[in-house]
Amino acid sequence: MAAYVSGVGPLLGHWLEHGQLRADAATARVFAEHLEQGRRRAERLERYLTQLLEPLAAAGVTPTVLKGSDTAYRYFPEPGTRPRADIDLLIRPDQRTVMAATLEALGYVEYRRTRYADRSEWRLAGTSPTPQRLEIDHADNPWSLDLHVTLDRWYFRGRRAGFARPTDDQLAPWTVAGRRVHVLAQPLLTAYLALNASYDIRDFRPLRAVELVLVVRHDTGTGALRWDALGDLLHRTGTVRFVYPALELAERWIPGTVPPDLQRQLRAAPTPRMRRVVDQVETHGLQLPRRTLDEKLMWARGPAELMANWSELMWSADDMLTVGDKLKRYLRRTWMFLRRRATLRARPRGTGS
């Protein structure tokens, strides 16, 4: 189960298969199954992506492939060693109509849309959202196709952060089964991976740190990634604090990942709440034992942002939620505090409950 939750089961299976690790026979069989399922799942997702790219090319749409659908091929030993729950594609806002028509023609249905429609999630009609197995990333577990029109993330009322729409010089050509697509070039790739991983800090899987390290080591080695360029990008976009958690955890778990100059820039940026949450993630690992108010308010800096963040907690600004949804969310949070399943402050292990 830990291999599944951490996300590194298939990668460990690959290293065992190639003699880079050793384990007893029973353990090796477990990781071999993780690898086999990972390979089958990667083949399955590539097949669906390829099926989509042909009609998109005919419509003049060349999407940008994001996250694991990119890094699995360019940075991991083989695609099946990078587990994926979805296929992430970035398109221009003016391409949403043709993209939706293409997906509907292929049998997809939209089941979720985020605020301002900057991201929508699709799945094949008639497929079950129920996993085949819970202890392994099974080849036939559910998956979705996530469409993005921006590299920004929504944090709370009035606060968005990220990298907007990449310019042409921030993209690089790539091919999937002979079909032309784009991928993010450096330093935007590292910045976006760190932003995305930090956003989901409560479920910061070790896979996210491993992914960052593999990307950083490869691209600093080839010269594609320059640390000064990454620091400049983060400064210009005001995203230093929003990438801090992922890069800080990668450095703590795998020292030497981030150079000292960038470490100093990053460590000057977070709020005290953010530091406490990162400390808790480091010591507990995988998933945090309790929700905390620190976690909900960690991104806010200064009185104005803190008030905006509080107002978001009291009544969500998400225009895709109904009044009933918002009331249920508010009551659930209140119930979690009453049942002591949530606390005010994030605390690392050994500092009290």
Q: What secondary structure does DSSP assign to 249-274, as a single string?
A: HHHHHSTTSS-HHHHHHHHTS--HHH
Check residue 296 and give its pLDDT: 87
Q: 219 or 119, which is more confident?
A: 219
Check residue 313 and give its pLDDT: 75
Closest CA to 172 of 221, 213, 225, 214: 225
Radius of gyration of the chain (CA): 21
Check residue 158 and give its pLDDT: 85
pLDDT digits (tens, 9 = 90+) for 326-346: 566 656 656 555 555 555 455
Q: 280 or 17, which is more confident?
A: 17
The pLDDT mean for the chain works out to 87
Q: 283 or 44, which is more confident?
A: 44
Instruction: Say what percent of the chain tops pLDDT 90.
Output: 67
Check residue 116 and give its pLDDT: 57
3 state DSSP class of 177: coil
pLDDT for 286 beyond 70: no
CATH of 1-185, one of 3.30.1370, 3.30.460, 1.10.15, 2.60.40: 3.30.460
Q: Which two tokens stand for residue 342?
A: 């949530």
pLDDT digits (tens, 9 = 90+) for 93-117: 999 999 999 999 999 999 888 765 5
Q: What is the mean pLDDT of residues 2-25?
A: 87
Helices (H) and strands (E) in the chain, counts: 14, 11
Q: What is the mean pLDDT of residues 179-183?
A: 95
Q: How confident is the model at residue 221 (pLDDT cuts 50, 70, 90)?
A: very high
| pTM summary value | 0.89
333, 339, 343, 347: CA torsion to nearest 10 = -140
pLDDT digits (tens, 9 = 90+) for 78-95: 999 999 999 999 999 999
Query: φ and ψ at 120, to 5 degrees?
Result: -135, 150
Length of the chain in residues, anyone? 353
Reply yes or no: is the peptide bond before residue 187 cis, omega within 30 of 0: yes
Q: How confident is the model at residue 353 (pLDDT cuts 50, 70, 90)?
A: very low
Domain boundaries, the chain: 1-185
Give the Cα-Cα-Cα angle 268, 271, 272 (nearest 5 degrees): 105
3 state DSSP class of 291: strand
Contact between 88 and 146 (Cβ < 8 Å): yes
Closest CA to 192 of 299, 65, 66: 66
